[in-house]
Amino acid sequence: MAATGTRLDLDGRPIKPMTICMIGAGGFIGSHLCEKVLFETPHKILALDVYNDKIKHLLEPETQTWADRIQFHRLNIKHDSRLEGLIKMADLTINLAAICTPADYNTRPLDTIYSNFIDALPVVKYCSENNKRLIHFSTCEVYGKTIGSYLPKDSPLRQDPSYYILKEDTSPCIFGSIEKQRWSYACAKQLIERLIYAEGAENGLEFTIVRPFNWIGPRMDFIPGIDGPSEGVPRVLACFSNNLLRRQPLKLVDGGQSQRTFVYIKDAIEAVLLMIENPARANGHIFNVGNPNNEVTVQQLAEMMTEVYSKVSGEPPLETATIDVSSKEFYGEGYDDSDKRIPDMTIINTQLGWNPKTSLWDLLESTLTYQHRTYAEAIKQAISKPVAS
Ligand code: NAD
Ligand code: UDP
C-alpha cells in the first residue's frame, strides 16, 4: 500500500517527498485526501482540524506503517498561534477548512462569511510571507446562477451550451440580491479567490484554486440524530440517505428541478493528487473538478438513490418515495438556488490530463452500500428506543 521506488510526475521528473499542512483534514474531503497521500505516496501530513473522527482510523493504531507520516493537531484556525509555525514546517498548505453546508448560508451568514473569508486570510498571508505553496478549496458555487437562467423559459438559447457551461476563465459570477443570504458563502469564496489571485500577481504567491462540483461519497457530512445533531440539515446526499435509512419520503426542495453534476470522491481525489505532485502544471490555475457526464435533476437523483438503496438494502421502496417541500419551509428565509452546474473540463484536462471515471449509478451503489453498512443498525436501534415522556 505504501509508495515504493521513484515516483515520477507528469513530465517524467522524480517526485520529492514533501510535508503537507492540511487544514480541515478531519472533514469529508480531507479524510479521503489523507488516505490517498498515506496509502499511495511517501509524503507527510500535518493534519489540522477541530475534529478527527473521520481520520481516526489513520491515527491509530500507531503500529501502522504510515503512522509516522501523519500528525494530528487539534486546533481552530480562528485563534491559534501555532498556525504560522505549522505552515512554515510544511512545503505545501492545503486549505479545506470552511462552513460549507447550504442550510448554514442563510441562517448563519456571519459565521459563513467569517469562516470562508476572514478565517482564510491568515492562511493566505502566512503562505505568501513564507514563500509556501497554497492549494485553496473554493467552490463551483462562485459561478452562481447560469446566464441561461435569466432567459425566457421558452428561449431556444437555453439549449446553447455557451449559456450554461461553467468555464474558469470566462464565465461570470452571478449571485442573487443581498437579502438572498444563500449567496453569502459564494461571495466570501469569490473574494478569497480574488485575494489569492492578487497575492499571486503582486507578491508571487504560488497558488492553485480548486472548485469542486458536488463531490460525494462515504463519510460525507452526518446522519441527523446518529452522528450529528437531530435537527441538523446536511447536504443532499446525507439528507436523502437519512430519509432512505429511516424509510421516510425524500424531500424535494421547490420540486427538485435544480440540476447538479455529481462526481465520485475517489475520482476527484485523483485530481487533487495530480495538483499536489505537479506544481509546474498546477500553479497559477483555477480548476473545475467535476463530472459533466453525471448530470441529473435533484428529483432524478432522489429516484435513482431510491432504486439503488432498495438494491443494496434488499428493502422495497416506499409507495410514496418523494414529497415536495418549499425552500422557505426547508431552509428558511433567504434561500436561493444554483439552477444548473456543468463544469467545463478543458483546463484540468489540458494541464493535468485528468478525467472522471465513475458513473452516477456506480458511485451511488458504493456510497449507499457504505451508508447502509454504517448506519442501518444504529437507526434501527434509535427508532426502537422508547421516547422519553
Ligand atoms: P467538511 O465540512 O466535511 O470539511 C471541512 C473541515 O474543516 C471540517 O472537518 C471542519 O471541522 C474543518 N474546519 C472548519 N472550520 C475550521 C476552523 N476554523 N479550524 C479548523 N478546522 C476547521 O467539508 P468538505 O466537503 O470536506 O469540504 C472541504 C472544502 O471543499 C471546503 O472549503 C468546501 O467549501 C469545499 N467544497 C466542497 C464541496 C463538496 O462537494 N464536498 C463542494 C464545494 C466546495
Ligand atoms: N435538496 C433537496 N432535498 C434535500 C436536500 C437538498 O431537494 O433534502 C436540494 C437543494 O435544494 C439543492 C440540491 O438538493 O437544489 C443540492 O443541495 P446540496 O445541499 O447538496 O448543496 P448544493 O449543491 O446546493 O451546494
User: What's the CATH number where 210 sits?
Assistant: 3.40.50.720
| CA 298 to ligand 2 centroid distance, Å | 7
| Interval 128-183: pLDDT, tens | 999 999 999 999 999 999 999 999 999 999 999 999 999 999 999 999 999 999 99
* Residue 283 to residue 205: CA distance in whole angstroms: 9
* Residue 237 to residue 376: CA distance in whole angstroms: 16
Residue 253 lies in a domain: yes
Residue to mutate (ligand 2; options 223, 242, 244, 298; most atoms within 8 A of CB): 298
Residue 292: Cβ within 10 Å count: 18
Residue 88 lies in a domain: no
pLDDT of the residue at 89? 98
Residue 69 lies in a domain: no
Residue 230 lies in a domain: yes
Residue 23 lies in a domain: no
ipTM: 0.99
Q: Report, in this order, helix, strand and coil percent for the chain, each rounded to 5.
A: 45, 15, 40
Q: Any catalytic annotation for residue 164? A: no
Say if residues 317 and 244 touch (Cβ distance below 8 Å).
no
Protein residue closest via CA to atom 8 of ligand 1: 27
- Ligand number with the minimum distance to the CA of 140: 1
pLDDT of the residue at 3? 54
The strand order across the sheet containing 133-137 reads: 70-74, 44-49, 19-23, 92-95, 133-137, 207-212, 285-289
Residue in 256, 283, 77, 299 with CA at minimum distance from that of residue 197: 283
Residue 208 lies in a domain: yes
Residue 339 lies in a domain: yes
Domain count across the chain: 1
In ligand 2, which atom is closest to the CA atom of 256? 7
Residue to mutate (ligand 2; options 231, 253, 294; most atoms within 8 A of CB): 253
pLDDT of the residue at 385? 79
Residue 19 lies in a domain: no
pLDDT of the residue at 274? 98
Structural domain span for residue 283: 98-375
For 327-339, the three-class secondary structure string (H helix, E strand, C coil) is HHHHHCCCCCCCC
Q: Which residues of the chain have pLDDT under 70?
A: 1-4, 386-389
Which one-letter DSSP state was computed for residue 119?
Answer: G
Say if residues 206 and 134 touch (Cβ distance below 8 Å).
yes
Long-range contacts of 85-90 (CB under 8 A, 24+ apart): 86/21, 86/46, 86/48, 87/21, 87/123, 87/126, 87/127, 87/130, 87/132, 88/126, 88/130, 88/132, 89/19, 89/21, 89/46, 90/18, 90/19, 90/20, 90/21, 90/46, 90/132
